[in-house]
Amino acid sequence: MSEPVRVGVIGLGTVGSGVVRLLAESADQIARHAGRRILVERAVVKDLTKPRHVPLASDRISGEITDIAGDDSISVGVLLVGGLEPARSMAVALLESGKDVVTANKALLAEHGPELFALARAKGRSIAFEAAVAGGIPIVAAIGECLAANRIESIRGILNGTSNFILSTMEEEGADYAAVLKLAQQKGFAEADPAMDVDGTDATQKLAILAHLAFGVWVPWRDIPQTGIEAIDQELMAFAAEFGYRIRLVAVAARVNGRLAMRVSPTLVKAGTPLAETREAYNAVSIVGDAVGRMFFHGLGAGQMPTASAVVADIIDTVVGRAAITFRTTGLLDPDSPAARIAGVEMPERHFLRIPVLDRPGVMAEISGTLGRHGISIASLIQHETGMPGPVPMVIMTHHASPAAVAGALTEIAVCDAVQGTSACLPVLDDWQPAAEHLEG
């Protein structure tokens, strides 16, 4: 067997500790795949006083990125620090010093990917990032390599473990939103700033990365319409269930009339379908390719060991040279990647509306009349008698309608006298499959 390879790990939090543990505990298995042993030469952390429960001597843990970047015996930098800075500067330091980089930091890639990938190319190094999207599910390799013969038509996925854990636990246990979020943080699923999980940012950044791999275009994540799960409550879940649906935070990128449509939004998914049955911190990705047809991937999208599984696979790929070949040949995150204009590209779909109305004569006619004037047809409607004073929820499932028309109708509805409060509007993911068409810029 060849000489061992030495790696440096930056960050010993949830994921970093898991990676060090997996490299130690599964050393033989990993060496069999890598053709040599992989040793953690050093780890770098922020707070040197924290107790560390990792199989690494304390004199191998230090506080400066230069301890890894400046060590010529280390060939791979495993960057497991979240956020943008100092993660960006650390990635630059690793690449400048001739190290290959493995990272799980999707925020970094979504924000600075083109710049970092250009630097890696200039330095003849690679960046591997399987763990950055959908945790333990090998979706980056699936889209970037295994499905490379396909023209991808659509990707729909649950890409954030924390929000899925919150939604499915609220749904199944009637649990309170804030309490479940706290539990997700304790379990190590959530970002350091959990707002990025629940407001859809994390899923949107992952979607930008997947769309780049699948469609070859670079869409800045801020251009992707994004809605989080903060406004989802038990009542909305109960009405969705009455219609036979569950609510999930779904990320979609699909070809529509030759353009790319993208969005991240809480979405109604039919109970019993794979996305609806994705629970806890599991992620799921459904992909339609022109040759392979529809495929479904399911697995843990967050958490220590599932994420470590993907990081260590990337370390092995880097050590054996596969990552470098993929990196060189696929033009990943090339700054010259064409941009796609996604603004105004709409997916034809049904909508689920909850409108808080006063229970008095003529209100239903007023609401349905407004929807009708905007070309929106009602498929079904629920309004329960509450026997209480004050507004009652009028819940409507529309037929297929343009999101712009629905937004226009809701703006008009918001100023009706009988409407008391803010309406909710969620898209409904039925088994709609976009037609195969060519993408325009």
- Give the binding site for ligand HSE (CB under 6 A): 135, 160-162, 189-191, 197, 202, 301-302
According to the binding rule CB under 6 A, does residue 128 interact with ligand NDP?
A: no
Please pick, from the candidates 77, 82, 200, 427, the single residue that binds ligand NDP as defined by CB under 6 A: 82
Among positions 10-39, residues that touch ligand NDP (CB under 6 A) are 10-16
Task: Considering the complex, state which of residue 13 and residue 408 has its C-beta at the smaller distance from ligand NDP.
Answer: 13
Least Cα distance to 210 among 273, 436, 202, 437 occurs for 202
Find out whether 46 and 112 touch, Cβ atoms under 8 Å: no
Structure tokens at 237: 């879940």
Task: Considering the complex, state which of residue 190 and residue 367 has its C-beta at the smaller distance from ligand HSE.
Answer: 190
Tokens 């937004």 — which residue? 407
- Give the torsion sign (CA, 218, 221, 225, 231): positive
* Share of the chain residues as helix, strand and coil, in percent rounded to the nearest 5: 40, 25, 40
Task: Considering the complex, state which of residue 60 and residue 151 has its C-beta at the smaller distance from ligand NDP.
Answer: 60
**CB neighbours (10 Å) of residue 35?**
13
Least Cα distance to 366 among 408, 417, 328 occurs for 417
Alpha-carbon distance 42 to 8, whole Å? 5
Alpha-carbon distance 128 to 78, whole Å? 9
Q: How far is the CB of 37 from ligand NDP (least distance, A)?
A: 24
Candidates 46, 99, 206, 270; catalytic one: 206
Q: How far is the CB of 189 from ligand HSE (least distance, A)?
A: 4
According to the binding rule CB under 6 A, does residue 136 interact with ligand NDP?
A: no
Q: How far is CA 95 from CA 46, 209, 323, in A?
A: 20, 20, 15
According to the binding rule CB under 6 A, does residue 303 interact with ligand NDP?
A: yes
Task: Considering the complex, state which of residue 200 and residue 393 has its C-beta at the smaller distance from ligand HSE.
Answer: 200
Spatial CB neighbours of 261, under 8 Å, sequence gap ≥ 6: 252, 253, 254, 255, 342, 345, 346, 347
According to the binding rule CB under 6 A, does residue 3 interact with ligand NDP?
A: no
Which run of H or E residues covers position 44? strand 38-44
**CB neighbours (10 Å) of residue 67?**
18
Q: How far is the CB of 70 from ligand NDP (least distance, A)?
A: 15
Please pick, from the candidates 117, 165, 177, 189, the single residue that binds ligand NDP as defined by CB under 6 A: 189
R_g of the chain computed on alpha carbons: 24
Which residues are bridge partners to 269 per DSSP?
A: 246, 429
Pairing of strands 350-357, 127-128: unpaired
Task: Considering the complex, state which of residue 34 and residue 229 has its C-beta at the smaller distance from ligand HSE.
Answer: 229
Chosen from ligand NDP, ligand HSE, none, partner binding at 136 (C-beta under 5 to 8 Å by type):
none
- Any idea what DSSP says for residue 60? G
Find out whether 261 and 406 touch, Cβ atoms under 8 Å: no
**Is 182 in the active site?**
no
Chosen from ligand NDP, ligand HSE, none, partner binding at 13 (C-beta under 5 to 8 Å by type):
ligand NDP
Q: How far is the CB of 326 from ligand HSE (least distance, A)?
A: 21
Least Cα distance to 202 among 231, 144, 162, 171 occurs for 162
Task: Considering the complex, state which of residue 153 and residue 202 has its C-beta at the smaller distance from ligand HSE.
Answer: 202
According to the binding rule CB under 6 A, does residue 427 interact with ligand NDP?
A: no
Chosen from ligand HSE, ligand NDP, none, partner binding at 45 (C-beta under 5 to 8 Å by type):
ligand NDP
According to the binding rule CB under 6 A, does residue 307 interact with ligand NDP?
A: yes
Chosen from ligand HSE, ligand NDP, none, partner binding at 434 (C-beta under 5 to 8 Å by type):
none
Chosen from ligand HSE, ligand NDP, none, partner binding at 188 (C-beta under 5 to 8 Å by type):
ligand NDP
Count the residues of the shown chain that bind ligand NDP, applying the rule CB under 6 A: 27
Q: What residues make contact with ligand NDP under the rule CB under 6 A?
A: 10-16, 44-47, 50, 80-82, 86, 104-105, 131, 135, 188-189, 191-192, 302-303, 307
Active site residues: 206
